[in-house]
Amino acid sequence: MNTQTARGAEDTGSTVSTGPGAPATNLRIWQKLQKVPFGNWLFTRAVCFKVPYFRTVHPLIHELRPGLCRVSAPNRRGVHNHLGTYHAIASCNMAEIAAGVMIDATVPPTHRWIPMGMTVEYKAKSTTGVTSIARLDAIPEFGEESMEVVVPVDVLDADGQAYVSAKITMYVSRKKSA
């Protein structure tokens, strides 16, 4: 694996090229759906169709750009544990949704990714709806060499307190030629 140099993540809502070619397909779809009513909902449903397990937390993607994804989910009985609080694994699911959608919008279409592992710190319990935020401080330069990208994710309660923090390691490599 190769450690790559990085450039600062953009804080604007504009399209950012992360390598050769156009932005990733899902990012282009997201950008187009921002112009139609219920575009966030439609995009989220498409993501959940592709990854059915994500549906279990009833997510809604609110913000997406290279280096950032923000997703919310309601507090409901289906995500509770035996204590009546937001279940730990439902929180991990929220972290994986944000990290996966963000990395997919960040890597160029010439590359592919897969999660390799996740470390999670449970800091408190939540009895509210939650928001997960995956953010890269710097976007790597994706080249010929495979690399690991560690995606930090905070899962926040309704008061904005991070009750779960996760680090999800993504393996990114160039797509094989056809």
Phi-psi region of 22 (alpha: psi -120 to 50; beta: other; left: phi over 0): beta
> What's the confidence (pLDDT) of residue 178?
62
Confidence at 23, pLDDT banded by 50, 70, 90: low
| Residue of 93, 48, 108 lying closest to 40 (CA atoms) | 48
> What's the confidence (pLDDT) of residue 24?
76
Domains of the chain: 19-174 (3.10.129.10)
Identify the DSSP state of 130: E
Backbone angles phi, psi at 93, to 5 degrees: -60, -45
pLDDT tens per residue, range 68-124? 999 999 999 999 999 999 999 999 999 999 999 999 999 999 999 999 999 999 999
pLDDT tens per residue, range 151-177? 999 999 999 999 999 999 999 999 987
Global confidence as pTM: 0.84
Integer Cα distance of 99 and 111 in angstroms:
16
